Amino acid sequence: MPWNRRHLLTIEELSVAEIGQIHATAAAFKQILGQGGKSVPALRGQTIVNLFLEPSTRTRLAFEMAAKRLSADVIAFDAASSSTTKGETLRDTAENIRALGADMIILRHAAAGSPLYLSRLLDIPVINAGDGAHEHPTQGLLDTFTMQEHLGTLKGRKVVILGDILFSRVARSNIHALTKLGAAVTVVGPSTLVPQWFTALGVTVSHDLRGALAGAEVVMLLRIQHERQMAGMFPSLGEYTGMFGLNKARASWLDPQALIMHPGPINRGVEIDSELADGANSVILEQVANGIAVRMAVLYLCAGGNPEAIAATE
């Protein structure tokens, strides 16, 4: 099936076949890198700009590594020393980056919808690296890629997402990816952070941690943001941890082989205890590592690359 998208803006708009195509291309790139290949010449001569206007460690570095493994020239935009601090608009910033010769922009921005906005202004691919509380599509793609490596098909798999669902772009992208791939998804946490209306996205909403975790094959923790407590979403971090933090006793309710996942950054001792984050069932660093191959696949496909050409080099 040919890839027909220039931009990656959301998982919501992707078909199951498109998700499968990204995963298959990522698997091919992972195999090439695993065989000792440091890079492929796929995007040689292209210039990719990492336009990150919010903090990031994993996503920014993984996109940078992915672009370099594809032999592209990659430029990291330094927001703190840029003219955005003088009030330059996103539109002007992006149009100037395009005028300087960029062939692709990867955007992280606090405003939901900003990648869609840029995609309508620019004649080059725009990749969403996280837009407000809306979506973080490459995170959802790398998370489901990691789950499939361990579990095979996700059809009927019991996946629990625990924590700050309401404000989480990671939760939204995973919900879209997992439900499209047939997983049985439960979102759980305090009712202030896990509103009932999430059922409209095809998931089960629960405020009963034990019931939700019972027999789950995957649990994905989300970072509890300190500012949520200031906004009165829960009384204190300690009380959140007491009610919903994942510790060894609560992890015993899971399937014994359950995968423990977290997109990072982790608040150790708040949403997850260190012994679980670093334990045998944790795949947190595998998620991070898989972020390179998955982002290589996204950059390659959106740049017009032929997935069959990559499969042929395996």
State in angstroms the smallest separation of the CB of 46 from ligand CP.
Answer: 22
Structure tokens at 290: 């898989």
- CB atoms closer than 10 angstroms to residue 162: 27
State in angstroms the smallest separation of the CB of 265 from ligand CP.
Answer: 6
Report helix, strand or coil for 91: helix
**Closest CB to ligand CP among residues 105, 205:** 105
Q: What count of Cα atoms within 13 Å lies in the side-chain half-sphere of residue 42?
A: 29
Q: In the complex, which residues of this chain contact ligand CP (CB under 6 A)?
A: 56-60, 130, 136, 139, 263-265
Q: How far is CA 75 from CA 29, 52, 98, in A?
A: 22, 11, 12
How far apart CA 167 and CA 144 sit, in angstroms, is: 20
Q: Which residue's C-beta sits nearest to ligand CP? A: 59
**Closest CB to ligand CP among residues 59, 186:** 59
Structure tokens at 306: 């032929």
State in angstroms the smallest separation of the CB of 108 from ligand CP.
Answer: 7
**Closest CB to ligand CP among residues 157, 169:** 169
Contacts of residue 202, defined as CB under 8 A and 6 or more positions apart, other chains included, come to 175, 179, 185
Contacts of residue 109, defined as CB under 8 A and 6 or more positions apart, other chains included, come to 53, 54, 90, 115, 130, 131, 132
State in angstroms the smallest separation of the CB of 49 from ligand CP.
Answer: 17
**Closest CB to ligand CP among residues 54, 149:** 54
**Closest CB to ligand CP among residues 40, 143:** 143
**Closest CB to ligand CP among residues 294, 310:** 294
State in angstroms the smallest separation of the CB of 35 from ligand CP.
Answer: 27
State in angstroms the smallest separation of the CB of 169 from ligand CP.
Answer: 8
Are 290 and 298 spatial neighbours (Cβ–Cβ below 8 Å)? Answer: no
